[in-house]
A and B are shown apart, each in its own frame.
Chain A
Amino acid sequence: MTMDPNLDSPRTAVSNPPIQPMKANLGPGDVVRASAMPDLPKPERELTPVAKLIDVSKCIGCKACQSACAEWNDTVPEIGFNAGVYENPHDLTPDMFTLMRFSEFDNPETGNLEWLIRKDGCMHCSDPGCLKACPAPGAIVQYSNGIVDFIHENCIGCGYCITGCPFDIPRVSKVDHKSYKCTLCSDRVAVGQGPACAKACPTQAIVFGTKNDMIEHANMRVEDLKSRGFENAGIYDPEGVGGTHVFYVLHHADQPSLYSNLPENPRISPVVQGWKGVTKTIGLAVIGAAAVGSILHGLLGRANKVSAEEEREAEHLVESNLPAGKEGS
């Protein structure tokens, strides 16, 4: 299979796609924002924004996505108990980055019962509250394709990301005191594949591709739902966080809270917006400026199958553009 030199994000509109070989990306030059690092250099290129679309109306709640997520990320979710509901685990955990949430809705307008099943997990906000709240330099990064990723080597386990998240997604592990959430399978996307959950989804309720393609696909789905009597069907891609790179098609887009309390109008807490400057300083003080250089090195050198060239670029970045790190060393 030949490599497409122009492909910078997988063009995957359906689940279980053919592999689309492309040059591995999501290296240092693709980071647009990093937590507590306001002076990050401008990225050298702009990747095509990607998105995962979750079509709630096609979802059968089979949990194949949960299973695939645990398999791919090699987590070991706890074998819990039944609490009288279908959700298992009962909430997102450091070992379960995505969760089917089930709600039973007696629709007063139609008199029909609806079982609204929503795959919960990181929304990959364009304006990520977690990243803004995070005091640990380089613990949370955002790539130019829109993926928000946690760099665990840099995480100090403070949990501010949870406070910052309008969707209550990250979870801090009691074992290693690091914060975990969906990575949008950045390690798969970087090499031209869709996320594991999308690949496993049997009904193509989860689809992945460029954000534009996904919007187009979502619009088609909304049209279909309207033809089936769901007049308020629509897309959930909330403005309050600048839009998201994981977004939903909902039958009742006018009432997102029906779907296990999906926020009506998510925003980053003003508190988080306010303390941002302070925490950055605290973060630096706590860790010690000396560590920053190595942290960023870890961040930039971490991505999957990073080429030697990218490695050199990263070192160059650290040495030339980060006086703080240099001074400390």
Chain B
Amino acid sequence: MTNPWTDIKNTDLVIVMGGNAAEAHPCGFKWVTEAKAHRGAKLIVVDPRFTRTASVADYYAPIRPGSDIAFLMAMINWMIQNDKVQWEYVKNFTNAAFIVKDEFGWSDGLFTGYDPEKRDYDKSSWDYVIGDDGFAQVDMTLQNPRCVWNLLKEHVSRYTPELVEQVCGTPKDKFLHIAEMIGECSAPDKVMTSMYALGWTQHAKGSQNIRGMAMLQLVLGNIGVRGGGMNALRGHSNIQGLTDIGLMSNLIPGYLNIPTEAETDWTTYMSSRSFKPLRPGQTSYWQNYPKFMVSFMKAMWGDAARADNDWAYDYLPKLDVPTYDILRMFDLMNEGQITNYFCQGFNPLLSFPNRAKLTAALSKLKLLVVMDPLETETAHFWENHGEYNDVDSASIQTEVIELPTTSFAEDDGSLVNSGRWLQWHWAAGTPPGQARRDTWIMSQIFLRVKKLYQDEGGVFPDPILNLTWDYADENEPTAEELAKELNGKALGDVYDLVDTTKLLAGQGKQLLNFSQLRDDGSTMSACWIYGGCWNEDGNNMARRDNSDPDDTGMFLNWSYAWPLNRRILYNRASADMEGRPWDASRKLMEWNGEKWVGYDIPDISPTAKPSDVGPFIMNAEGASRLFTRGMMRDGPFPTHMEPFESPIANVFNPEMRGNPAARVFASDAEQFATSDEFPFVATSYRLTEHFHYWTKHNRINAALQPEFFVEISEELAAEKGIKKGGMVRVWSKRGEVWARAVVTKRIRPLQCGEKLVHVVGIPLHWGFIGAARKGFGPNSLTPFVGDANVETPEFKAFLVNIEPATGEAVS
């Protein structure tokens, strides 16, 4: 989230699209009810289903799963056509004025540079014109036909309300009603917030869905302000922490990158990370990359990371492919190329696509180690549970070891919430039985591997033997020790960069925050963005002062928000070019003539003059991007792409299937279905009564929603002869499930042009272990393909067929 949960109370309009906040984030949703009750805010829901969120919305519109980009681009088009643009914001705080290369273009659903063989783009044309001065060229009058604004205007002009009706199935009048409501928020004193979740991410073009709304929010001037923002509602209590800490195969903590194999040495690696400002005087904060990276290397390898060995750069693994994401890992496993798999804290057998492929893949392993507080289906993938897990146990030779771990309530530590708050928590109970902390288990494995290297040597023992392991008890680092390591400390005396006699942190002291990181090896920090979480003031994550001067919702003394305890990202954008708040009643930051002051930590150098330095300090432009240059694999603007399995051909290019830049493994391409055989669109989702695959172990949750079901419209039920509460069989090209039928008015067929599209809703939460009745997950049906940029699986739009179940019900 750009903004904290508590800030949602400051909004005038909430749009929930690509999510179902009331259902999946009921506790956070309280801030929507606050905004409605105390500000008179309105709530819009756009969703294929009339959800629990829709039940308390002021306005609801249906949309066909997987057509969000068309809706969002049409919304931007409507704003431009109706002059609902926050012009001062757009001109100064976005890259609207930047001139783009003449070679860039779009036709037939594709941008320039597409290579169908590689399923990839040559992105060289997707960039600015760079002048002789080394800076990007701009036209602040927005008259140049090649400036981003005019290219955007032209790009979105195709997306009319009529096209929305045809592609999305959203009635034109409903689209226009929502456009009117949103358009009001282009006024500097009106704000909309966007709340979204996996309804947008779980598509082969998920990143572009989110870009679409981010662009709309920029056009309206709603980023960086109170009550605004792009708010990704995270689905686990610490999933924000997961990405922060770099548990992505291509990331290092703090959103640094694992090198690629082409980057054979430090200089090469750093050469593409200079992040030189693209406009004069801009911050381009990533220029500090070397400080973050060196400090990370020092945290990892201490004295073994030195300037003369490129900070132990050779110790880092180098990627030979863009990512080793879970889809790739299971594909490799299925190809027999992986023998051992550690599965820590997740249940892929139910949470990754195409369960048949997952089962086949796990069956080819020699060893599967599962670390989890609960018994998982993954750990029991080899057990026959009749229809629910119909495997031939005798033929599976995989050795499975389950290591019971503690749960969050049995540990001290921090959880990072959606609003980037690092909140410390204390163990509330003692671990049951033989459960051990993950840190203990990982330490034991590390110490044993290290001993093997010590005793027997190896090809390249250095990264293991030299790993910093400076804990009071080497068998189990404490949460405090790890947190301090993430924050960082001074390895030598650290002096001010300007006043070089001024000592900032003496050797051995915890660093104040990441501003004290150095690239000379005198500092270490395992995750630079967490700098400040545990400094010499102590554990700032444990702060529990809920004072909130003037009720702004910022709560600066409650826990610690990265970066630098900042609650709203890009908050300098809450004020105009003179530094005056756009909305005096919703002041966040203002320029007092000398520096930035206000209710939040300024997201800019405190003394950077408002007319000189742009608010988007992480971007080399100093501005936000309506056009993303070559930074995304599938285009610098979002363009409508159908799901890989769709009942409708792409309106711009009937030959184009799915996202043309998404990675597709050969064996999976054969398993994509067409609507001839599988006529219905399915989408998957969570229910409030449960949390993923955990709470089916809990008796009360199981009582509240005991049995797997699917939801269909009354029309589809009538067409197929399906009775409310009856059993149905739902099948895709990859598998089948049996479920109870919930027949509802909340799902209605969508008229998309000539085609009537029926939607089948498939909740998750059931498996073959736990207190709830045995059931299935949607992943038995879903295609094995992910987002082109981040590989999040396409769980929200795929094709199935449905029929009343014959014979005995399985439950």
Contacts and interface: CB of A to CB of B under 8 A. Distances in A.
Contact of B23 (A60, A71, A77): A60
A202 B745 CA distance: 26
Contact of A63 (B29, B30, B689, B740): B689
A57 B811 CA distance: 36
Interface in A282-310: none
A278 interface: no
B56 A113 contact: no
B105 interface: no
B22 A115 contact: no
A84 B741 contact: yes
Contacts of A106: 745
A143 to B, nearest CB: 28
A4 interface: no
B29 A202 contact: yes
Given A58-B56, A106-B745, A113-B746, A64 B26 contact: yes
B40 A203 contact: no
A88 B705 contact: yes
Interface of A is mostly: loop
Interface in A13-72: 57-64, 66-67, 70-71
A2 B705 CA distance: 42
A214 B708 CA distance: 39
Interface stretch (B403-411, B531-539, B695-703): B695-703
Nearest to A205: B33
B52 interface: yes
A96 B703 CA distance: 10
Interface string A108-142: 00001111110000000000000000000000000
Contacts of A60: 22-23, 26, 29, 52-53, 55-56, 688
Given A64-B26, A88-B706, A203-B26, A79 B742 contact: no
Contacts, number: 127
A204 B144 CA distance: 53
Contact of B52 (A61, A64, A66, A224): A61
* Residue among A62, A66, A82, A113 with most chain B CB within 10 A: A82
A61 B703 contact: no
Interface residues of B, number: 46
B162 interface: no
Contacts of A82: 705-709, 725, 740, 742
Category for how many chain A residues contact B: 35 or more
Contact of A79 (B27, B55, B773): B773
B699 A202 contact: no
B60 interface: yes
Given A70-B700, A88-B705, A224-B37, A62 B744 contact: no
Contact of B703 (A70, A113, A116): A70
B703 A202 contact: no
A49 B740 CA distance: 45
25 contacts: A60-B22, A60-B23, A60-B688, A62-B26, A63-B689, A63-B705, A77-B699, A77-B704, A79-B699, A79-B771, A80-B707, A82-B705, A83-B724, A84-B723, A84-B740, A84-B741, A84-B743, A88-B689, A88-B703, A88-B704, A115-B54, A116-B55, A203-B26, A204-B30, A224-B37
Given A85-B725, A202-B30, 19 more contacts: A60-B23, A60-B29, A60-B55, A60-B688, A61-B52, A61-B55, A62-B688, A66-B704, A67-B700, A82-B705, A84-B723, A84-B726, A84-B741, A86-B742, A88-B704, A104-B746, A202-B26, A203-B30, A204-B30
